[in-house]
Amino acid sequence: MRLQASTTFLSSKLWAVFTAVMMLGVLQSTKAEAAGLRCQNLMQETVAYQVNLPQNLRTHRESEVNRLSAGDVNRLNSQMIQHLKRFVPARMAGKASGINLADAQRVLKVISDHPVTGHMAYDRYNRPDENVGFCFGRAAFTHLLLLKMGLSRDSIVKVWAVGPMRTPGVTWDFHVASAAYVNGKGWLVLDTNYDAPMKLETWFGKMQEQNRQMDRKLRLYVTEPNKFGLELGKYDRIQMGLDLNRENDWYQHYFVDMMNDLSSRSLADYGLQRLPVDSASRPSSGNSAKESSSAAPSSRPSFWDRWFRR
């Protein structure tokens, strides 16, 4: 269930000045949608929304809450929400910088009904010895599907609620979802645990309700969209089990099946369509990456591209 921005983050003295960190590249669709997803440059380093966060959010959260009061933690969470609200992604050539609310709702339904990411498929991939949950899998699918639709990589982030949470009969220590920049609405979280896209503060408020009887120090982090897991960095074929037999894959081929589905189906197969390309450049909010960082992709195929050609 991980991100990046190029201006100063938070006025609090608890935080340092943001610096550029490496960011994942972009998935590109083929000219013919029926040919499916071409994952060129998914692993190419780029710069977009950036936060100077460590890779392991679990230990980072522990170090914070051990020295901060619940009030201090809440202030940091509020600052994180406001920082994302102020971040307006710049327009990128050939990409859409935002998605309409109706399309975002359709994406949510696709993920909810999907044979891999849908909740009805949970038992197929869950492990008998551990409750995996796969919120990070649904967040990854959301990210990649939005890229397939032509949404700019700068217009997608992942949001993480980190800390102990509990509902009747279930406890867990983090939850993650992808958020997209929605035209006329700003940043909305697409989480299949809920029926509609929602504002970050609304989503996190629901997470806090599940922490209310715990330590009241649930942390919100916003990261680059290619962050794979709570303790891990960007997508990695080893971590995702892409080269393993199903019986040797800890995720039971969840990600193998998900990526094969993305590569073999067109947007029309999902009931979706390519997003309209931005017609003119828009000044950035001061937080987005320079246009030059989205230079023409390298002709050398990424390992994702090679994998899909097998």
Confidence grade of residue 282 (pLDDT, cut at 50, 70, 90): low
Convert the pLDDT of each residue in 42-66 to its tens digit.
Answer: 433 334 566 789 999 999 999 999 9
Q: Which residues contact 128 (CB under 8 A, 6 or more apart)?
A: none
When pLDDT is averaged across residues 192-198 and rounded to a whole number, the result is 96
The overall average pLDDT reported for the chain is: 79
* Strand partners of residue 189: 179, 198
Confidence grade of residue 304 (pLDDT, cut at 50, 70, 90): very low
Convert the pLDDT of each residue in 9-40 to its tens digit.
Answer: 333 333 333 333 323 333 333 332 333 333 33
Residue 176 · residue 165 · CB < 8 Å: no
Convert the pLDDT of each residue in 232-241 to its tens digit.
Answer: 999 989 989 9
pLDDT of residue 279 exceeding 90: no
Confidence grade of residue 156 (pLDDT, cut at 50, 70, 90): very high
* C-alpha 293 chain-centroid distance: 20
When pLDDT is averaged across residues 176-204 and rounded to a whole number, the result is 98
- pLDDT score, position 50: 62
What pTM was computed for the model?
0.76
Q: Which residues contact 259 (CB under 8 A, 6 or more apart)?
A: 144, 240, 242, 307, 308
Lowest-confidence region among 29-33, 101-105, 223-227, 262-266: 29-33
- Tell me, what amino acid is at 2? R
Strands 37-38 and 156-167, how do they pair? unpaired
Lowest-confidence region among 68-82, 112-126, 253-267: 112-126
Rounded Cα gap, residues 67 and 57, in angstroms: 16
Other Cβ atoms closer than 10 A to 246:
12
When pLDDT is averaged across residues 135-150 and rounded to a whole number, the result is 97
pLDDT of residue 71 exceeding 50: yes
Look at residues 205, 80, 95, 191 and name the one whose alpha carbon lies nearest to residue 147. Answer: 95
Rounded Cα gap, residues 179 and 1, in angstroms: 12
pLDDT of residue 271 exceeding 90: yes
Rounded Cα gap, residues 212 and 166, in angstroms: 9
Convert the pLDDT of each residue in 198-208 to its tens digit.
Answer: 999 999 999 99
